[in-house]
Amino acid sequence: MEKMTEKNKGKKAEKTKPNMEKEIIKRHPNWNRYILVLSLIWTVTIFILMGWNLTQINLYTLETARIQARSTYEKDIIYRSWNASHGGVYVPVTEKTQPNLYLVDIEEREIITPSGRLLTLINPAYMTRQVHELGGDKRGVRGHITSLNPIRPENAADDWETKALQAFELGETEFSSIEEFDGEIFMRLMRPLITEENCLKCHAAQGYKIGDVRGGISVDVPMESLMAIEHSQNISIVGGYGLLWLLGIIGINFSRQRLISSERIRLQAMEALRDSEEKYRVLYENAPLSYQSLDEDGRFLDVNPAWLSVMRHTPLDKNSYF
């Protein structure tokens, strides 16, 4: 019989558990709001941190492309300076390297070696153009020497380069942006070419003076490989923050369940106490023996009906003494 009673109690507890949870939520209506607000704060925080990280990765990718472009520009400046410091260099005339039509006023534009080999003078601009063509074919990095007043028409600036050159005349020292052309995305970077003394050999006739901005070198770095790396990093970042968000939401809901569970235990304990008190009261009131309850000063606190029957007394006042 006791086992059956315990079993019935267990079933009763299982049946009343959902109802008790509803009762708990009803008693504490703000709990769900607090959980919702906490979940929203956690979600917003994750999105802000993830957005910040993705932005930093993008800025790093762009800066990496700029560094590559600057490195190419600096290399161009170094070998141009070397060429200019020697007044140009002579190379054999070939199908790809023909005499420079824009150096017709330069004495000894061509020379013949004692062995009869024809050499032509390569100035810094001609050398830079050939290097850029070679680099574009092998590395994908494009370079272009340009000016608002070019000697060679092919060196004329495009719209983007024109904006950069105009910015240089206003004091800017670098101009860069992400641009798309020919179906590809490039980091375009341009820096000015400042007129030096050894530049006047070819450009004095254009009216340039030492220190003038006479043009610039633009460098176009393909972004495909860098963007592929960025995309891979972005996937890892989003996945990591997604997992972190999920763990946080699970933790918040786990805390909610723990809170409800604690409240359920407290309510069950209170209910058990009330049941115990009720059982005691029933036994006390229906006991065949007389019972009385006194305080430490001897005042009556309570007596059961059997006591009243035995003593043939009316219900006592609490101030009565034994």
What are the φ and ψ backbone dihedral angles of 26, each rounded to 5 degrees? Answer: -65, -40
46-54 mean pLDDT: 96
Q: Which of 50-59, 76-85, 97-106, 244-253 has the highest mean pLDDT?
A: 50-59
Whether the Cβ atoms of residue 192 and residue 215 lie closer than 8 Å to each other: yes
Closest by CA position to 177, among listed 190, 165, 168:
190
Closest by CA position to 65, among listed 193, 233, 188:
188
The two structure tokens encoding residue 73:
């520009």
Q: Check whether residue 293 and residue 183 sit in a common domain.
A: no
Give CA–CA dist 137/126, Å, rounded. Answer: 17
The HSE-up count of residue 275 (CA atoms within 13 Å, CB side) is 6
CB burial readout 83-100, b (16+ within 10 A) else e: bbeeebebeeeeeeeebb
Q: Is residue 232 part of a domain?
A: no
Q: Using the 3D structure, point to which of 226, 258, 273 is the last residue of a domain.
A: 226
Cβ-Cβ contacts under 8 Å for 174 (sequence gap 6 or more)? 189, 190, 191
The CB-based long-range contact list for 29-38 (8 Å cut-off, 24+ gap) reads: 31/256, 31/259, 31/260, 35/252, 35/253, 35/256, 38/252
Q: Using the 3D structure, point to which of 226, 244, 275 is the last residue of a domain.
A: 226
Give CA–CA dist 132/130, Å, rounded. Answer: 5
* Beta-strand pair 118-122/89-92: antiparallel
Q: Check whether residue 92 and residue 176 sit in a common domain.
A: yes
Q: Is residue 155 part of a domain?
A: yes
Q: Check whether residue 202 and residue 313 sit in a common domain.
A: no
Q: Domain of 218: which CATH number? A: 3.30.450
Closest by CA position to 164, among listed 151, 147, 142:
147
* pTM of the shown model: 0.67
End-to-end CA distance of the chain: 43
Q: Is residue 234 part of a domain?
A: no
Q: Is residue 77 part of a domain?
A: no
* Bridge partners, 192 (sequence order): 216
Confidence check: pLDDT of 167 > 80: yes
Q: For the segment 208-240, what is each residue's pLDDT rounded down to a tens digit?
A: 667 667 789 999 999 999 999 999 999 999 999
* Residue with tokens 């390297």, as numbered in its chain: 97
Cα distances (Å, whole numbers) of residue 59 to 77, 102, 225: 26, 42, 15
3-state secondary structure of 220: strand
Our count of domains for the chain comes to 2
Confidence check: pLDDT of 116 > 70: yes
Confidence check: pLDDT of 318 > 50: no
Q: For the segment 125-158, what is each residue's pLDDT rounded down to a tens digit?
A: 888 888 888 776 556 788 888 888 887 888 899 9
Closest by CA position to 290, among listed 277, 303, 302:
303
pLDDT value for 4: 43
Q: Is residue 156 part of a domain?
A: yes
Q: For the segment 54-97, what is each residue's pLDDT rounded down to a tens digit?
A: 999 999 999 999 999 999 899 988 888 888 888 889 999 998 89
Q: Check whether residue 196 and residue 309 sit in a common domain.
A: no
The CA dihedral of 169, 171, 174, 179, to the nearest 10 degrees, is -50
Give CA–CA dist 46/35, Å, rounded. Answer: 16
Q: Which of 8-12, 55-59, 206-210, 308-312 has the highest mean pLDDT?
A: 55-59
Q: Check whether residue 211 and residue 96 sit in a common domain.
A: yes
282-290 mean pLDDT: 76
Q: Is residue 107 part of a domain?
A: yes
Whether the Cβ atoms of residue 6 and residue 12 lie closer than 8 Å to each other: no
Range of the domain at 172: 85-226
Q: Check whether residue 179 and residue 101 sit in a common domain.
A: yes
